[in-house]
Amino acid sequence: MKRLAFILLILLVFVTVRAAGVHTSVKYVSAGAIYLDAGRASGISKGDTVEILRDDKLITLLTIAYVADNSSSCNIGEGAASIQTGDHALVRGTGVTSGAGVETEPTELEMEAESQPVSKRKEPTRKVNRLAGRIGFEYLVQDDREEYDYDYAQPSLNVRLKISEIHGSYYSASLRMRTRKTIRNRESFSTPKSETSHRIYEAALRYEKPDSPIEYGVGRIVAQELRGIGYLDGAYAKYKGGGRLAVGVFGGTEPDLENTDFQTEVTKGGVYAAYDHRTSEGSRTSATLALAGSYQDGQVDREFVYQQLNYYYGSRLSLYESTEINIYRDWLKDKESASMALAGSQVNARYSPARLIAFSLGYDNRRNFYTYDARSVPDSLFDDALREGWRGSVDFRFTRQISSELGGSLRTTEGRSVNATSSWLRVNMSDVLNSAVSVTALARAYSTEYSDGVQPSLTVSKSLFRVLSTSLQFGANSYTLSSTDTKINQNWSRLALDLSLGRRYYASLDAQAARGSHQNSNTISLALGLRL
């Protein structure tokens, strides 16, 4: 805790409160940008962080580059090749509000032009000690109406801050943390009645000068090139040679995110090389190759090679591929009876032969593998080690206001596990009858080893008075348990309100009610915040 106190003190000097993120969706994908179906009216600002998710799985992290009243865009970054229209986007504030000038929403022609080269603009005057980000307070309450009566309250403080150009230098300091207290109405053998958690996800000092070949950082770091190895308490250095090629090295220890203590049980390190090339025709090729390892108490935990490739050609074609190969030595080589093996691979492709239609196809597999903690697990538990997943979809844009997605997925396994399938149909309608009302209908069917069911949902949203946006959602989950042939029927409804109080302050209210088999609860969340 003491080791991080100095950085925390620096970043909290000028600050006071801000909220959880803005939920929206991807409405358009061009060669150079990702467009979201929400903007300034929903509390989004330039510089905010965007989490792109599908089936609750994080695809990539992006940054807001452009904000209009009801639309925003992100520059395409690493891992963005797999992003599709309709993907869920969670915008979390880390940026600053837009300038005072009035911005208009981009037209489709402007979206298409995003893939074309643009002239360079004059660099703005550097601003010293720029503080950006947000601080938010959230209070969540659950009223459980089941027999067990599991009620709880959960106040939390979320901080995302960055100070740039410290004292006119090219150093910046960033902080990302959450403090949460859970107060339950009763305790159990595994959970106390009250508990507090302090998690620091990032507390780093970086040197990033645009025309310098050297970049480096120190602290609790989550750098773009280090995502494959997770969080790191340590340092990294990068050398950029020739504009297209960069090489780097990183090392440190694995942090304990449950608290703010520094630990040394698990150490990490590695080297990487990155390549990025763009052409005036609108194509871009980027690749990463890394050799990384983690070690627990001086013993090998995992050593692997990571490779990633991205390719874009205008707004029509995008390809993404990544592979991890485990390297075995010492006790791992004896355990696996091999020197190396495939740990997992992923491929995603999207092709749009015309503006009104796009095809997407994805494949991934993953294999269970031994680590130092799992070295005593019996081989029999790895019988279904290989899992192959296929996912395909077709996107139709009938008009500018109406679009849909039809898709399906299949995950096959080896061993005793049963294959899992799912299919879905999503229909989006914006500005229905020129009312500024948007409607999204989703129907999903699934079949797994444990259950078979359907999940329909309907979302209606509208922005009011330029400062207030609201959405109303209804959904259901109806499935049958394979082991007992028991039918389960559940439904839920949700009301979300987002209020922008000027350019800095905003508030949100999220109320949910869940009813049906084995669930009967109400949940309310109130968030207040300040954007810096």
Task: Kindly report, residue by residue over 115-165, the tens digit of the pLDDT.
Answer: 344 444 444 456 688 899 999 999 999 999 888 788 999 999 999 999 998
Kindly report the backbone phi and psi dihedral angles of residue 208, in degrees, each rounded to the nearest multiple of 5, phi listed first. -140, 95
Q: In whole angstroms, what is the distance from residue 55 CA to residue 111 CA?
A: 27
Which residues have a Cβ under 8 Å from the Cβ of 374 and sit 6 or more positions away?
Answer: none
CA atoms within 13 A on the CB side of 117: 9
Q: In whole angstroms, what is the distance from residue 21 CA to residue 166 CA?
A: 27
- Compute the C-alpha angle 308/257/97, nearest 5°: 70
Question: Domains (ranges, CATH) in the chain?
Answer: 2-116+125-531 (2.40.170)
pLDDT for 61 equals 77
Which residues have a Cβ under 8 Å from the Cβ of 355 and sit 6 or more positions away?
Answer: 108, 397
pLDDT for 402 equals 93
pLDDT for 93 equals 63
User: Helix or strand or coil: residue 273?
Assistant: strand
Q: In whole angstroms, what is the distance from residue 60 CA to residue 286 CA?
A: 15
Q: Is the dihedral of CA 53, 54, 56, 60 positive or negative?
A: negative
Which residues have a Cβ under 8 Å from the Cβ of 167 and sit 6 or more positions away?
Answer: 128, 129
Tokens of 196: 């507090």
CB atoms within 10 A of CB 277: 12
Q: Which amino acid is at 139?
A: Y
Q: In whole angstroms, what is the distance from residue 482 CA to residue 492 CA?
A: 23
Tokens of 183: 């107060």
Residues comprising the chain, all counted:
532
Residue at token pair 């440190």: 252
Q: Is the dihedral of CA 82, 85, 86, 89 positive or negative?
A: positive
Residue at token pair 């999207």: 350
Element (H, E) at 6: helix 2-12
Q: In whole angstroms, what is the distance from residue 49 CA to residue 63 CA?
A: 5
Query: Which positions of the chain have pLDDT values less than 70?
Result: 1-21, 31-32, 41, 55-56, 77-81, 93-127, 223-228, 242, 259-260, 377-387, 414-416
The predicted model scores a pTM of 0.67
Kindly report the backbone phi and psi dihedral angles of residue 4, in degrees, each rounded to the nearest multiple of 5, phi listed first. -100, -5
pLDDT for 185 equals 87
pLDDT for 429 equals 94
Nearest to 230 by CA among 220, 241, 238, 240: 220
Q: In whole angstroms, what is the distance from residue 8 CA to residue 227 CA?
A: 23
